[in-house]
Amino acid sequence: MYEGPLQDVIDEFSRLPGVGPKSAQRIAFHLLQADPRDVDRLASALNRLQQGVHFCRICNNISSEDVCRICADSSRDATTVCVVEESKDIQVIERTGEYKGRYHVLGGALDPLNGVGPKELNVTTLVQRIGGRVDDVPSADGTLPEPPVIGEVIIATDPNTEGEATASYLGRLLKDFPGLTVSRLASGIPMGGDLEFVDELTLSRAFEGRTPVR
């Protein structure tokens, strides 16, 4: 235990996800010796964090503007919407460079035991988007484009109990939209993995989602 502000900083960092007491101590000592301007920058970024972050009014992604970078990008396919649990999942999918559509952030997954039902998630706004009532980003000259007709919803919730329950719920909810395809990201055996070490649920999902060899 140290005294005063140093210990306060160690305690605060220790509370963060993924930071153990040793890392917290290392960061605190680093900051103690760092250039005061660097520490000021960190402190002011932390101060601005909660006031400066907004949620995109179309997809609920974290955004510094009213509409996020992805929804505002007219080169992206507005007819395909990938549904994710959290904004951070968008970063993961974007890193693959595979997906050129839009997103919808639910803000979590169904978890009735912990009081998370459909009302606690951004489900209504998803249904409204598919109905074509929300994607109304004005173009540069201020005119509203025709709402895009969403033809495909790709459900990319986490492959765990809550994520699976959320995917089935959304599948049932969206099945009656005319002309809409609802798909779920395939899940299976990790690349570089070994069948012997794959759990049964993963293996059965991999069988279900098998694809023809090309």
Residue 26 vs 76, nearer CB to Zn ion: 76
SS3 200: helix
Q: Check residue 9 for interaction with Zn ion (CB under 5 A).
A: no
Q: Which of 71, 82, 109, 123 binds Zn ion (CB under 5 A)?
A: 71
Amino acid at 141: D
Measured on CA atoms in the order 15, 105, 189, 99, is the torsion positive or negative? negative
Of 53, 2, 56, 55, nearest in space to 32 by CA:
2
Least Cβ distance, residue 74 to Zn ion (angstroms): 13
Give the chain's largest Cα–Cα span.
65
Least Cβ distance, residue 66 to Zn ion (angstroms): 9
Candidates 23-31, 45-53, 59-67, 185-193; binding stretch for Zn ion (CB under 5 A): 59-67
Q: Check residue 68 for interaction with Zn ion (CB under 5 A).
A: yes
Contact characters 163-192, Zn ion, x per CB under 5 A: ------------------------------
By CB under 5 A, the count of residues binding Zn ion is 6
Q: Check residue 155 for interaction with Zn ion (CB under 5 A).
A: no
SS3 117: coil
Alpha-carbon dihedral 88, 209, 118, 124, rounded to 10 degrees: 80
Least Cβ distance, residue 129 to Zn ion (angstroms): 10
Contact 173, 182 (CB under 8 A): no
Tell me which residues touch Zn ion (CB under 5 A).
56, 58-59, 61, 68, 71
